Amino acid sequence: MSGFSFATQLIYVLAASCFVLGLHLMNTPATARRGNQFSTAGMVIAIATTLALIAHAGLISATGWIVMLVGALIGGGVGLYSARTVQMTAMPQLVSMFNAVGGGAAALVAVHDYIQLSGAVIGVPESTTITTLLDVIIGSVTFSGSIIAAGKLQGLITSAPVTFRGARVVNLLLAAIAVGAGGYVISTPSLPALWIVIVAALAFGVSMVMPIGGADMPVVISLLNAFTGTAVAMAGFVIGNWALIIAGALVGASGGILTKLMADAMNRSIANIIVGGFGTGDSAVAAVAAADAGVKAIAADDAAIQLAYASKVIIVPGYGLAAAQAQHEVAELADELESHGVDVSYAIHPVAGRMPGHMNVLLAEANVPYPQLKEMDDVNPEFARTDVALVIGANDVTNPAARRPGTAISGMPILDVDQAKSIIVIKRSMGHGYAGIDNELYANPKTSMYFADAKTALADLTSAVKTLVG
Amino acid sequence: MSTALLTDLVIFVLSLWVGFEVISKVPATLHTPLMSAANSIHGIVLVGAMLIAATANSWVGYVIAFVAAVFASANVVGGYVVTGRMLKMFRKRSTVPAAPAATAVASQDGRAS
């Protein structure tokens, strides 16, 4: 190893250290921005080092420079534009697209390396073939799977699970083709067989994500994130670059942890979600009458008085709040209540959104200070001391039926909303959540139902508090 | 098994453990920015895209390098910018909400008329 390439490897390790430090600083909201700056610095260092390395080697053709720079400019422009303009509600789609392009780029790196090596006299070393195959398979599955996931989140593809008879057979067949062709590539280096692997892996990505419903998206995005990291690490193995290996492993770990957390929060195994289950997407059952016995309805004025004279209110937001774009209205109501001396906080279930932590970002955007955003385990003991729990657009995660065995959501960790002294639920109708079962909370004598669209209801509550309480 | 592959494997496994250790301390409040930050970090694949552009010598190679460069740079730039944008919104105390107050007045006016 020459002195120069030794130095560049050391600088790559420095860049990777910046990534670790950056992730470490994400452990509190106060230091998180500095973490992102560290991470950015690491990336700039890594890219500058690579430019120096390429210029020093002097092997690059003029076309190579043009391809690299024009590609970077176009990609950078697209990335910058989408990052600047994306709505916070659309974050899951954007993250999914970044997973897609990251996984795609990682697969392309390995494909190119394979083409170069298979044209060379020495041929392809076996260990490189194996990492190439892993990179190409994982990268391609991530690429097509993430595009489908983004399409579902954006509503371009139905968010309901798409299944057909024999879907599982098709999945198995595609996996078998990819593995079989991969095995052939290991025994006999062959570029056409590698293309077969790629096509089968791309098709597998599509058929893997299509049967998964909208409510399961937090798990899917986390899993695809872990895949992307792994694909990038494999690309690092293929081209022998430590920066890619370390960074890819970090992302793989992060995606893995989040996948586990999300699956636990829904009390489902990852395998169960991938095979496809009840994540039936946004069930817009609007016309179900509220005729159920024992359900008590409430009007804006009564609800407003109850809230304004409470000493402690916990707001329980669900995806329905985000779907109704009512984040700003809820923050406004909270501000109004606080000005009357009410202690307001938010109880956030881990899957209250379309990706891990999504609800927190939506509320932060609406100017809610982060100390008010409480995690499930921290907030659950507080419900007993709470005068009013205000549930907005959350359903299954508040259903006490989860505590009993034998229901569709049994064992799922829930928010102990029913422990509060009184409960107000803002909901358009008595429609079911994703699990498709009745929410026993609504029949609780302490519960009042406020039937309205979340956005209008919250605005009405705020003005009612203002006029009635002053 | 070559020494280089063994070294790479050791680095990979140890980095995985470092990742598990560091990331399991991130609070749920920051999980979306965390995933977005992880997203920008896997943009390091841009380094790989640059290196293949440097060795490409056929039109297939150039096309692959070009697409990889576009993908990876969109990943890097977009990832960091959107993470920064999100983290900027996390405040300890709400700043004077000028805009929401204005909309509140507007919506009341709307109802009054």
- Work out the angle between the directed axes of helices B45-55 and A62-85 (0-180°, nearest 10): 160
Q: What is the pLDDT of residues A35-94, one digit of tens each?
A: 999 999 999 999 999 999 999 988 889 999 999 999 999 999 999 999 999 999 999 999
Per-residue confidence band for B95, with pLDDT thresholds at 50, 70 and 90: low
Q: Looking up tokens 């770990």, which residue turns up?
A: A253
Mean per-residue pLDDT over chain A, rounded? 89
Rounded Cα distance, B11 and B17, in Å: 10
pLDDT in tens, A343-387: 999 999 998 888 999 999 999 999 999 999 999 999 999 999 999
CB A91 to CB B28 under 8 A? Answer: no
**In the block, residue with structure tokens 């944008």:** B85
Mean pLDDT of the B83-110 span: 63
- Provide the chain A residues 97-116 that lie in CB contact (below 8 A) with chain B: 98-99, 101-102, 104-106, 108-109, 111-113, 115-116
Catalytic: which of A396, A416, A418, A460? A396
User: Residue A283's pLDDT is what?
Assistant: 38
pLDDT, average across residues A257-264 = 92
B38 vs A251: CB contact, 8 Å cut-off?
yes
Distances (CA, A) of A152 to A76, A104, A148, A208, A333: 25, 19, 6, 13, 32
pLDDT at position A396 over 90: no
Q: pLDDT confidence of A294, banded at 50, 70, 90?
A: confident
Q: Does A55 touch chain B (CB under 8 A)?
A: no
Query: Is B76 domain-assigned?
Result: yes
Residue A396 a catalytic site member: yes
Is the C-alpha dihedral spanning A182, A184, A190, A191 positive or negative?
A: negative
Residue B63 lies in a domain: yes
Which residue in A27, A237, A353 is closest to B8 by CB distance?
Answer: A237
pLDDT for A392 equals: 94
Give yes or no for residue A19 having a pLDDT over 60.
yes
Q: Could you tell me the strand order of the sheet in which A373-375 lies? A: A296-297, A447-451, A422-427, A388-392, A312-317, A343-348, A373-375
| B112 contacts in chain A (CB < 8 Å) | none
| pLDDT tens by residue, A167-190 | 778 888 999 999 999 999 888 888
CB contact under 8 A, B39 and A225: yes
Least confident interval from A196-210, A423-437, B11-25, B64-78: A423-437
Res A230: pLDDT: 96
Pair A79, B79: CB distance under 8 Å: yes
Residue A14: partners with Cβ closer than 8 Å, 6 or more residues away = A42, A45
Q: What are the domain boundaries of chain A? A: 3-275, 296-469
How many other CB atoms sit within 10 Å of the CB of residue A289?
A: 7
Which alpha helices (H) appear in chain B, and where do they start and end? 3-23, 31-41, 45-55, 59-89, 98-112
Average pLDDT over residues B62-75: 97
Residue B14 has pLDDT above 90, yes or no: yes
CA distance A166 to chain B (A): 34
- DSSP string covering A50-119: HHHHHHHH----HHHHHHHHHHHHHHHHHHHHHHHH--GGGHHHHHHHHHHHHHHHHHHHHHHHHHHHHH
Residue of B nearest to A58 (CA): B54
pLDDT at residue number A288: 40
Give percent of chain A above pLDDT 90.
64
Question: Is B70 within a domain?
Answer: yes
Q: Which of A241-245, A263-267, A383-387 is predicted least confidently?
A: A263-267
**What pTM does this model have?**
0.89
**Quick check: A413 pLDDT over 60?**
yes
Q: Does the beta-carbon distance from A357 to B39 stay under 8 Å? A: no
Q: How far is B6 from chain A (nearest CA, A)?
A: 10
* Site of tokens 């690092």: A236
Q: Average pLDDT, stretch B7-26? A: 94
pLDDT at B97 over 70: no
pLDDT at B88 over 50: yes
* CA–CA distance, A231 with A135 (Å, rounded to integer): 5
| Residue B59 placed within a domain | yes
Using alpha carbons only, what angle is made at residue A176 by residues A175 and A178, rounded to the nearest 5 degrees?
65
Q: Do B28 and A222 touch (CB under 8 A)?
A: no
> Cβ(A384)–Cβ(A394) under 8 Å?
no
Residue A139: its chain B contacts at CB < 8 A? none
The pLDDT score that the predictor gives to residue A406 is 82
Answer whether residue B103 shows pLDDT above 60: no
Least confident of A283-287, A321-325, A416-420, B3-7: A283-287
Residue B42 lies in a domain: yes
What single string gives the DSSP state of each residue in A178-203?
HHHHHHHHHHS--HHHHHHHHHHHHH
Q: How far is CA A202 from CA A115, A197, A215, B85, in A?
A: 19, 9, 24, 32
**Confidence label for B1 from pLDDT (cuts 50, 70 and 90):** low
Please indicate whether, in this complex, the C-beta atoms of B91 and A75 are within 8 angstroms of each other. no
Number of folded domains in chain B? 1
Q: Is A242 on the interface with B (CB under 8 A)?
A: yes
User: A102 and B47: CB-CB below 8 Å?
Assistant: no
Helical segments of A340-418, H only: 358-365, 376-379
Task: Please state the rounded mean pLDDT for residues A245-268.
Answer: 93
B90:A80 CB<8 A: no
Task: Tell me the average pLDDT across B1-18.
Answer: 91
Q: Which of B40, B64, B100 sits opposite A332 (nearest CB)?
A: B100
Q: Is the pLDDT of residue A425 over 90?
A: yes
A111/B89 Cβ within 8 A: no
Give the model confidence (pLDDT) of A103-122 as tens digits: 999 999 999 999 988 877 67
The mean pLDDT of B16-27, rounded to a whole number, is 94
CB contact under 8 A, B42 and A30: no
pLDDT at A161: 78
Q: Parallel, antiparallel, or unpaired for β A422-427 and A373-375?
A: unpaired
pLDDT at A409: 84
Quick one: pLDDT at residue A257?
A: 94
Crossing angle of helices A91-119 and A358-365, rounded to 10° = 130
What's residue A468's pLDDT? 85
Q: How distant is the Cα of A257 from the closest Cα of chain B, in angstroms?
A: 7
* Among candidates B37, B100, B103 on the partner chain, residue whose Cβ is nearest the Cβ of A36: B37
The whole-number pLDDT of residue A5 equals 83
- Closest-approach residue (CA) in chain B for A237: B8
Enclosing H/E stretch for A12? helix A3-24
Tell me the torsion sign for CA atoms A162, A164, A167, A170.
negative
Which of the pair, B100 or A259, is modelled with greater confidence? A259
* Cβ atoms A263, A223 nearer than 8 A: no
Please tell me the least confidently modeled range out of A236-250, A368-382, A418-432, B93-107: B93-107
First-to-last alpha carbon distance for chain A, in angstroms, is: 76
**Contacting residues of A for B52, CB less than 8 Å apart:** 108-109, 112-113, 239
| Dist. CA A185–CA A174, nearest whole Å | 16
Residue A367 backbone phi and psi in degrees, to 5: 75, 15
Residue A377 exposed, middle or buried by CB count within 10 Å (0-12, 13-18, 19+): exposed
User: In this model, does residue A6 exceed pLDDT 90?
Assistant: no
Q: CB-based contact (8 Å) between A5 and chain B? A: no
Contacts of A53 in chain B (CB under 8 A): 51
Look at the domain A296-469 and name its fold. Answer: Rossmann fold (3.40.50)
Q: For the residues B50-69, what does the mean pLDDT come to?
A: 94
Whether A254 and B19 lie within 8 Å, measured CB to CB: yes
> What domain range is B86 assigned to?
31-90
* Residues on chain A touching B93 (C-beta within 8 angstroms): 369
pLDDT score recorded for residue A172: 87
- Average pLDDT for residues B24-50, to the nearest whole number? 95
Task: Answer yes or no: is B106 within a domain.
Answer: no
pLDDT at A121: 65
The alpha-carbon gap from A142 to the nearest alpha carbon of chain B, in Å, equals 13
pLDDT level of residue A329 (50, 70, 90 thresholds): very high
Beta strands in A272-370 (DSSP E): 296-297, 312-317, 343-348
Smallest Cα distance from B45 to chain A, Å? 6
Q: How many residues does chain B have?
A: 113
In a domain, B47, yes or no: yes
List CB contacts (< 8 A) between B70 and chain A: 71-72, 74-75, 78, 101
Whether the per-residue pLDDT at A285 is higher than 80: the answer is: no
- Residue A443: φ, ψ to 5°: -90, -5
Q: Are A450 and A300 in contact (CB under 8 A)?
A: yes
Average pLDDT score over residue span A150-176: 84
CA angle A299, A421, A343 (to 5 degrees): 85
